[in-house]
Amino acid sequence: MAIGVFDSGLGGLTVLEAAQKRLPDVDFIYLADSAHAPYGVRTADDIYNLTTAAVQRLFDAGCDLVILACNTASAAALRRMQEGWVPEGKRVLGVFVPLIEAMTERQWGDNSPPREVAVKHVALFATPATVSSRAFQRELAFRAIGVDVEAQACGGVVDAIEDGDMILAEALVRSHVDALKRKMPHPQAAILGCTHYPLMQDVFQQALGADVQVYSQANLVGESLADYLTRHPDKMGTGTSAYLTTGDPKRVSDRAVQFMRRQITFVSA
C-alpha cells in the first residue's frame, strides 16, 4: 500500500524527499495539481473542492493514508475534510501539527492542555490563503499559551519558485521579511509555512538574522510519519515512488528537475 503525498505544485517534493530518505521501504505516490496551482490565492471553498478531488484520486490509486504536503490545503481544507468527508478506513494528515509540536517541544500525539513555552514571538511566512485561514494560530492555541504570532502573506514567492526564477524569489523573500520585521522587529522563531519555502531557507535565515530559529517542515513531517508508521507497520512496501500531475507532464517534470536537482518524471493523473 502506497502513501499519498499531495501538493498543488512542486513544493511538496521537499516533504516527499525527506520522507523517502527517512522511510526507504515505503511506497509513495505524489500528486501535483499543477493545472490549478497556485492554491494560495484561491477561496477556501475552491481549495476544499480541489483538495478533495485530488485526495480521492490518491485513494483510488490505492493510498489509505494521504499527507497534505501543502500548507494552504492543510489550512483551508483539512479540518473540514476530517470532520465530514474522509471515508472510513482512510486517513488524511496535514503538515502544520508536526511543526507546531517541534516548536512547542511536544511529542507526537501529546494532547495535554496548552502550556507556556520558551518561544514567545513567532513570525509566520505563508501564502495569503494560509494566513487568512488562521489555521496555524488555531493549532498553536491547542498546545501553547502566551505566544505572539505575526503572520506575513508572501505573495509571489511560490509562483517565482515554480517558474524557476530564483532571483525574483530571493528578492521577494527579502521584501516580505522586511515587511514582517516592521511589525515584529525581534522574532525569536520563524515558521516557513509553505513547502516551497525550504528552497529559500538560507535566504530567510540571512534576512532574519542568525539569532532567529527557522523551522522548516520537510524533515519534521518525515519524522512524524516515521513515528506513525511504527504503530502501523502494515504500511511498509518496497520503496517505489510514482509522480502524477494534472498539468503538462513534460513541463512539470522539467520544473521538478530544476526544483530538486535530480531526475523526476511525472505522468498524467
Return d(Cα 110, Cα 101) in angstroms, integer: 8
Is 49 labeled as ligand-binding? no
Is 71 labeled as ligand-binding? yes
Is 8 labeled as ligand-binding? yes
| Contacts (Cβ under 8 Å, ≥6 apart) of 235 | 1, 3, 26, 64, 65, 229
Q: Which residues belong to the active site?
A: 70, 194
Residue 200 CA, distance from chain mean position: 14
Is 40 labeled as ligand-binding? yes
Is 52 labeled as ligand-binding? no
- Spell out where 8-162 has E strands: 28-32, 65-68, 91-93, 115-116, 121-126, 144-145, 148-153
Exposure string over 100-121, b if 16+ CB within 10 A, otherwise e: bbbbbebebeeeeeeeebebeb
Return d(Cα 245, Cα 45) in angstroms, integer: 21
Is 36 labeled as ligand-binding? no
Is 39 labeled as ligand-binding? yes
Q: Give, in order, the Cα–Cα distances in Å from 209 to each of 4, 118, 201, 202, 214.
A: 36, 19, 12, 10, 10
Summarize the annotated binding site for substrate as residue ranges: 7-8, 39-40, 71-72, 195-196
